[in-house]
Amino acid sequence: MKKITQDLVVLEWLKENSIITPMTALNELGCYRLSARIHQLRKQGYQISTKRIAKQGRFGMVCFAEYRLENKVGL
């Protein structure tokens, strides 16, 4: 039986939903280090863009990344 890695789980999420944020990765996939998973997927040749988001949090501005899988056709 093939082990399902976090890289594969994140990739499947991106294929189905197009975008992912660190909070989504943690809450839905149990992935704490999303940026590391994105780095590995990029090394494998997947085109993933990054958008920096800034929002007002309870104690001030918070910044985080939103990742988007590009060129889904042909995957």
Q: In the prediction, which pLDDT does 3 show?
A: 79
Q: Span 50-54, mean pLDDT?
A: 95
Q: In the prediction, which pLDDT does 4 show?
A: 84
Burial of 6 (0-12, 13-18, 19+ CB in 10 A): middle
Q: In terms of pLDDT, which residue wins out, 75 or 67?
A: 67
Q: How far apart are CA 75 and CA 42, in angstroms?
A: 14
Q: In the prediction, which pLDDT does 72 show?
A: 59
Check whether 36 has a pLDDT greater than 80: yes
Domain-wise residue ranges, the chain: 6-69
| The overall pTM is greater than 0.95 | no
CATH hierarchy code of domain 6-69: 1.10.10
